[in-house]
Amino acid sequence: MHISEEQRAQFRNEGYFFLENAIPAEQVEGLRAECQRYIDRYDAEMEAKGVTVQGINHYKKRYFISRRGLESPTITEFLFGELMADVCRATLGENAFLFHEQYVVKFAEVGTKFGWHQDSGYVGHYHRPYLSCWCALDDMSIENGTVSVLPYSAIGMTPDDLYDHEIEMGSNDKIGYQGDNPGVPALVPVGSIVVFSSRTFHRSGPNRTSRIRRCYLAQYSAEPIMNREGTGLWGQAIPIVKDGMRCGPPAQG
């Protein structure tokens, strides 16, 4: 995948760029099928517990289905493929690690919003910025609650600024920006990737359409991210690029 110097510069200076029509149609269909499989499994878990809210997941409204990708050959192939390795090299450099991955799903006409935040705000302590790749599994619009990003220059921040976040009552979301800037909406077709830094503020709106809205979020770091005490990993640290070379999928033990 060719990533232009203009896109690289925009990432460095403003914290994001859009990579349109990047994911092949066959791979999109595979990621969609796995998404539905995990939604069905998650519904069963919540139904068994008799709950409609679990963490930041809302039954039949909004789902964050995380850390399931390595169970699936389809997802693993995507996470460690040439496309994502190219994106990592263009943004993180010669070394990169899979840090986290999850599906983000908003159901038709009831999907809830997600307020302005930095992904780094969920780590809770200082760390080197990592990479978020928001992969559109449907055509994205304002109406179906696409993601919007806030360029660094819009609020006068630097690429390493980490803001305090507060928990929003009712949603359990972390909120780090309360201003009026609407940001830049990602009005992109299915198969596109919204590439942004973990320091980049972003949000998404409710899904007001009659169709489900799905994305897959793959996150990578330039180095292993440790917990606050430095005694263990905060997330994952599985190599995808080492000294500029793609590592390929990890061996399954």
- Amino acid identity for residue 156 in this structure: G
How confident is the model at residue 173, as a pLDDT?
A: 82
How confident is the model at residue 63, as a pLDDT?
A: 87
The pTM of the full predicted model, rounded to 2 decimals, is 0.93
Tokens 């973990």 belong to residue: 198
How confident is the model at residue 111, as a pLDDT?
A: 59
Residues sharing a CB contact under 8 Å with residue 139, sequence separation 6 or more, in sequence order: 188, 189, 190
How confident is the model at residue 42, as a pLDDT?
A: 82
CA distance 221 to 119: 12
How confident is the model at residue 253, as a pLDDT?
A: 55
The number of CA neighbours under 13 Å toward the Cβ of 162 is: 13
The SS3 of residue 93 is coil
How confident is the model at residue 9, as a pLDDT?
A: 98
CA distance 238 to 214: 25
The SS3 of residue 97 is strand
CATH number of 5-246: 2.60.120.620
Instruction: Quickly list H helices, the chain.
Output: 5-14, 25-49, 73-79, 82-91, 152-155
How confident is the model at residue 87, as a pLDDT?
A: 98
Average pLDDT by consecutive 10-residue portion of the chain (253 residues)?
Answer: 93 99 98 94 91 83 88 96 98 98 88 84 92 98 96 97 87 85 98 99 93 97 96 96 95 68
How confident is the model at residue 55, as a pLDDT?
A: 77
